[in-house]
Amino acid sequence: TSDWSSDVCSSDLPPAMTVIRDILPITLAFADDGLVPNNSLPFVVYKSVVVFDEGPAEDTIERLFGANGWGGTWRNGVFDFLHYHATVHEALGVARGRALVRFGGDRGEDVEMHRGDVAILPAGTGHQCLAASPDFVVVGAYPPGPAMEVTRPTPENHRKALETIPKVPRPATDPVYGAGGPLTKLWSGAG
């Protein structure tokens, strides 16, 4: 459908890292539910986009995100309580295992996340791990900007988030595909 038609791209990425270029993003829109603000920008998921060639999978995802300007990485799971980040957008890359994660809050969508999947959450998007395999590991990253803060859904936090979220700048790059990636195009005309 667009310039994402070649099978695999590795020319601009560090050695031993490739991403599949014909993966079209899955996008979902979540409405403000009164406690979880969500965002008018679409939530984006790339399924099975990262190809793990060699070395630890966590390193591969960190290098991918870093090569595309997303930093502040961490390795862990996804909290089992509902939360969101009102100060920054977030990328989550699954390095190991699988999990069922609810995105968008209690009225959102349950998404099966597997090794090689990447989810990109616009600021304010609720998320919570419902179940995970024992080996589940995700790598999180953020575009340049304010530090990530974990926010729980309360009326007071919701009020504050409605002021903060519109001020969060849109990232200059897609954490998987870089400057010309689908995320930058999807978010340039949205909201």
So what's the pLDDT on residue 15? 44
Lowest mean pLDDT among 2-6, 133-137, 159-163: 2-6
The answer to whether 33 touches 136, Cβ cutoff 8 Å, is no
Phi, psi of 22 (to 5 degrees): -100, 20
Phi, psi of 178 (to 5 degrees): 85, -155
The answer to whether 19 touches 49, Cβ cutoff 8 Å, is yes
CA–CA gap between residue 175 and residue 62 (Å, rounded) = 10
Mean pLDDT of 23-52: 95
pLDDT band at residue 53 using 50, 70 and 90 as cut-offs: confident
Phi, psi of 116 (to 5 degrees): 95, -10
pLDDT band at residue 190 using 50, 70 and 90 as cut-offs: low
Task: Name the token pair of 121.
Answer: 């959450």
The answer to whether 142 touches 90, Cβ cutoff 8 Å, is yes
Mean pLDDT of 74-89: 97
Which residues of the chain form beta strands (DSSP E)?
8-9, 17-20, 26-30, 39-46, 50-52, 71-76, 90-96, 98-103, 109-114, 118-121, 127-132, 137-142
pLDDT band at residue 169 using 50, 70 and 90 as cut-offs: very high
pLDDT in tens, 93-110: 999 999 999 999 999 999
Mean pLDDT of 21-48: 94
Q: Can you give the pTM of this predicted structure? A: 0.89
- 7 pLDDT higher than 70: no
So what's the pLDDT on residue 67? 95
